[in-house]
Structure 1
Amino acid sequence: MRETLKEESSKLTIAYLARTTIPSRAANSLHIMNMCSALGDWGHSVELIIPTNKRIRKEEESDVSDVFTFYGLRKNFKIKKVSLLPFPGGLLLYLAMIVGWLKFKRPELVYTRDSHLAGLCCLLGVDVVYESHYFKVQRKLPYSFLQSVLIRSKRCVKVIAITKALADQLVIAGYDQRKIGVFPDAAKAPSAESKKINLSGKFVAGYLGHLYPGKGMEIIFPLAKRLPSVSFHVVGGKQEDIDTWKVKGLPQNLVLHGFVEPGKVSEYLYDFDCCLLPNQKKVKTSGGGIMDIGAVTSPLKMFDYMAHGKPVISSDLPVLKEVLTDEVALFCDPENVDSWIEALQRIKGDGDLRIAMGIAAKKLFEEKYSWKERARRILEFIHKDVSAA
């Protein structure tokens, strides 16, 4: 790969390796599909390689006739599904099959956000770019060994971190700081054909995303109870999480819409008067897992809010302020509901402020945080690193 990336403007053959379910409601699938599409937008030949078996197929979103339409994307890259055998050792066999395929196909760029795949690529002599979304010390073989290989191998030519806070963790873990670049997540520019869905309420405070611990329903629920003049619309969440909150007794001004296809989310976002980003200090991974990503997260919803030109009310957390500024967001104590009430009342009562913040948010998105711009910057970063080697 060091030799093949000599010309920054050349078109590359790119293999994106992932272990995710597509189509699905998982945020990682949305991120991966958008990155592949963004790389394709620059004219590169991209192939996404993902696993499949009977269990995975059951987890796929049903009644999806076209996966690209589901995610609201153009069909500008290929998807290849490789069998993951459901027995002990099946994952290692799958990983080995992928690396064998890479050695046969010889793509000019191998990219993954899967540390196991990245480590195995390094072990078997395949150059790889690894994108990290969190860091967890692996303690069980063979994954602890693969992690050690990934951290130390020259075959890992670049490490992409989604936040500065995460980059600091990676350096402490032993990654070469010179290889690490910080590139926050991004969003897709909304389609000009998107229309408002006409949500109920004179003033709509909206939230997009999951409802598991730390994402912010801990703030939204009491907010709705104390601000009956504001309509709260929550788009997203698994049914079991929605049911958990419904049991608590939802106030009339709090509507849980459930999952909406990524390609249709803009219809809701356009109707929000302001957007809520009430991350807590500790945020669990999907399904309420044991991983705490609160200090290193780069929420996709944050970029979607800006892409739609919406003012944001956000938790006052360092990792979120890596992206958000005072021009686009009002910041609140993540654990103090009174702080959120004050911010909502301020933004509700000041139309000029809402407009100014929305314009600033849209401008910031267009300058730095589209998927296409993210892909361009990452490729430029990889190119410079390779050229210097």
Structure 2
Amino acid sequence: MKNLDLKKHYIFFIGEELPQPEAHLVQSTNAANAAANLGYSTVLVYLQKGLKAIKPANLARPFQPRETPTELVKYYNLHDKLKVVPLPMPWPIDNFRSKFTDSNTIASKYYLPFHILPTTKLVHSRNWNFVKAAIKNGVPAIYEHHHHEDKPFELEIVNNPLLQIAVTVVDSIRETMIANGMPEDKVIRLHNGFNRLFMQRQPEKAAEWRQKLLSNERSYLVVYAGALQQFKGIDVLIDVAIKMPNVQFVCAGGKPPEVEHYQQLTKEKQVQNITFLGYVLHHELASLLQAADILAHPHCSGKAATFTSPLKLFDYFASGTPIVATEIPSLIEFKDTRAIAAWCEPDNSHKFAECLKQVLETHPRKIEGYSDSIEFVKQFSWENRAAKILSYVEESLRPLLIT
């Protein structure tokens, strides 16, 4: 009985170092944070490299749940209930191409069975190898899968009763997963969520953003938050900026090389009214979204438009700022809501500019935000999502509730 009592943790595993400015890491960290907020004994496990990874104390007792570092708290806007464990991955791990020096193998074959397993009740990960390892070691698991893959799933894993549920964010990926062997009754489609911070009004900080970003010749602010990639519609947005010289466009997000690429591109095109801020910490991003007159959600057509996760859309909703969105398959279910101010076809900078002009006329900026989108998004909290996922887990297999 004592051994059963030890198995209490809800483990979220990320097979990467943190923090990094990646949408899937925002998703994974906030999913773990939500489970902790519901009162479960939740531990976010990720990789640690460099000098910290060679500390003798960390290597001797690698699984010691601790408070979330301030750096991660600010980066992803996490709360104080979540615990973390950075798994040390010292040199030569990931420095030589071999399964014996691969962090994936080390985490699944060494850390999981010998250090993580004794106190683990349930595993949740987007890392298929870690999910497989958990099930082979007798631990129930939840698998998240957000992109198309042609690789078939191992039948002995997907048919194992310990695989409680697989979660994806759009129907097209669910269909692909089923085609690749995932049992239909084991895979659900469930949207991502929004972080509570984005709903808290921050008028002073929003005013500071407007003062910082707007000049005398430009009185309107259009903000895009997300990855800086061509298929996301960034090139389209640059062309829109050319058509609207009286509007200041701001892009928050992207890796340094991507930011540099688009800064160079706008210089070559002589576009003066678009700024690339790079990755903005989540505790600062909320006020930036509230500072905008309009939030832009451009996107190109093509395969990515069928599965791109509307992660930022929910944060957009929570800000209460009018949204102009592109009609792509993964967003189309929101078309009948009043939460999005205007829609336009993809790949068309002229139409997108027309939509922006129209919304600037019909939706003047409100410091308190538009209630339609704020009320609409409440159903999509990360906590509601976590509770929904856990409802598919057998009650006896659920992690310990500590509050």
TM superposition score category, shorter chain reference:
0.7 to 0.9
Aligned: 1:257 with 2:268: no
Instruction: Rate the CA distance shift 1:275–1:55 in 2: closer, same or farther, 3 A.
Output: farther
Aligned: 1:94 with 2:107: yes
Aligned: 1:302 with 2:313: yes
Cα drift, residue 192 of structure 1 = 4.2
Query: Which residue identity does 1:175 align to in structure 2?
Result: M
* In 2: Cα distance, 1:66 partner to 1:244 partner: 27
* In 2: Cα distance, 1:119 partner to 1:42 partner: 26
Instruction: Rate the CA distance shift 1:279–1:357 in 2: closer, same or farther, 3 A.
Output: farther
Query: Which residue identity does 2:293 align to in structure 1?
Result: D
**Within-5 A mapping of 1:3-152:** 13-54=9-50, 66-84=71-89, 85-86=93-94, 87=96, 88-89=98-99, 90=102, 91-101=104-114, 104-138=117-151, 147-152=154-159
Could you say what secondary structure the match of 1:225 adopts? helix
What residue is the counterpart of 1:61 in the other structure?
Answer: none
Q: Which runs of 5+ in 1 are unaligned?
A: 5-10, 58-63, 139-143, 283-291
Cα drift, residue 12 of structure 1 = 5.9
What residue is the counterpart of 1:266 in the other structure?
Answer: 286
**Could you list the per-position Cα deviations for residues 228-281 of structure 1 after superposition, in whole angstroms to 9, with x for gaps in the alignment?**
122211111222212222222252221212221122111211111111111222
Identity %: 19
Cα drift, residue 108 of structure 1 = 2.3
* In 2: Cα distance, 1:134 partner to 1:168 partner: 11
Structure 1 segments of 4+ aligned residues over 4 angstroms from their partners:
146-149, 352-357, 383-387
Pick the structure with greater CA Rg. Answer: 2
Cα drift, residue 385 of structure 1 = 11
What residue is the counterpart of 1:184 in the other structure?
Answer: 191
Could you say what secondary structure the match of 1:23 adopts? coil
* In 1: Cα distance, 2:114 partner to 2:374 partner: 42
**Could you list the per-position Cα deviations for residues 298-355 of structure 1 after superposition, in whole angstroms to 9, with x for gaps in the alignment?**
1321111001012211111111123454412222111122221221111011137999
Query: Which residue identity does 1:16 align to in structure 2?
Result: F
TM-score in terms of structure 2 length: 0.80
What residue is the counterpart of 2:381 in the other structure?
Answer: 370
Instruction: Rate the CA distance shift 1:331–1:188 in 2: closer, same or farther, 3 A.
Output: same
Instruction: Tell whether the 8 Å contact from 1:206 to 1:269 is kept in structure 2 after alignment.
Output: yes
Query: Which residue identity does 2:22 align to in structure 1?
Result: A
* In 1: Cα distance, 2:369 partner to 2:331 partner: 16
* 1:224 maps to which of 216, 227, 241: 241
Query: Which residue identity does 1:346 align to in structure 2?
Result: Q
* In 1: Cα distance, 2:308 partner to 2:295 partner: 18
What residue is the counterpart of 1:382 in the other structure?
Answer: 393
Query: Which residue identity does 2:376 align to in structure 1?
Result: L
Cα drift, residue 106 of structure 1 = 4.1
Cα drift, residue 20 of structure 1 = 2.5
Instruction: Rate the CA distance shift 1:226–1:103 in 2: closer, same or farther, 3 A.
Output: closer
* In 2: Cα distance, 1:186 partner to 1:93 partner: 31
Instruction: Rate the CA distance shift 1:180–1:386 in 2: closer, same or farther, 3 A.
Output: farther
TM-score in terms of structure 1 length: 0.83
Instruction: Tell whether the 8 Å contact from 1:118 to 1:128 is kept in structure 2 after alignment.
Output: yes
* In 2: Cα distance, 1:164 partner to 1:354 partner: 35
Instruction: Tell whether the 8 Å contact from 2:299 to 2:347 is kept in structure 1 after alignment.
Output: no
What residue is the counterpart of 1:8 in the other structure?
Answer: none
CA root-mean-square deviation: 2.9
* In 2: Cα distance, 1:167 partner to 1:153 partner: 19
Query: Which residue identity does 1:222 align to in structure 2?
Result: D
Could you say what secondary structure the match of 2:193 adopts? coil
Could you say what secondary structure the match of 2:33 adopts? helix
What residue is the counterpart of 1:287 in the other structure?
Answer: none
Instruction: Tell whether the 8 Å contact from 1:72 to 1:264 is kept in structure 2 after alignment.
Output: no
Aligned: 1:168 with 2:175: yes
Instruction: Rate the CA distance shift 1:103–1:356 in 2: closer, same or farther, 3 A.
Output: closer
* In 2: Cα distance, 1:56 partner to 1:177 partner: 43
Instruction: Tell whether the 8 Å contact from 2:142 to 2:167 is kept in structure 1 after alignment.
Output: yes
Cα drift, residue 365 of structure 1 = 0.7
* In 1: Cα distance, 2:337 partner to 2:350 partner: 19
Query: Which residue identity does 2:176 align to in structure 1?
Result: Q
What residue is the counterpart of 2:401 in the other structure?
Answer: none
What residue is the counterpart of 1:327 in the other structure?
Answer: 338
What residue is the counterpart of 2:61 in the other structure?
Answer: none
Query: Which residue identity does 2:131 align to in structure 1?
Result: A
Aligned: 1:154 with 2:161: yes
Q: How many residues align?
A: 356
Instruction: Tell whether the 8 Å contact from 1:115 to 1:150 is kept in structure 2 after alignment.
Output: no
Instruction: Tell whether the 8 Å contact from 1:16 to 1:112 is kept in structure 2 after alignment.
Output: yes
Cα drift, residue 381 of structure 1 = 3.1
Q: Which runs of 5+ in 2 are unaligned?
A: 54-68, 399-403
* In 2: Cα distance, 1:357 partner to 1:268 partner: 13
* In 1: Cα distance, 2:163 partner to 2:330 partner: 26
**Could you list the per-position Cα deviations for residues 280-301 of structure 1 after superposition, in whole angstroms to 9, with x for gaps in the alignment?**
224xxxxxxxxx6431121321
* 1:275 maps to which of 295, 317, 336: 295
**Could you list the per-position Cα deviations for residues 193-239 of structure 1 after superposition, in whole angstroms to 9, with x for gaps in the alignment?**
57202231322111001212211112101000011122211111222
Cα drift, residue 177 of structure 1 = 1.1
Question: Which structure dedicates a bigger proportion of its chain to helix?
Answer: 2
Cα drift, residue 107 of structure 1 = 2.3
Instruction: Tell whether the 8 Å contact from 2:120 to 2:139 is kept in structure 1 after alignment.
Output: no
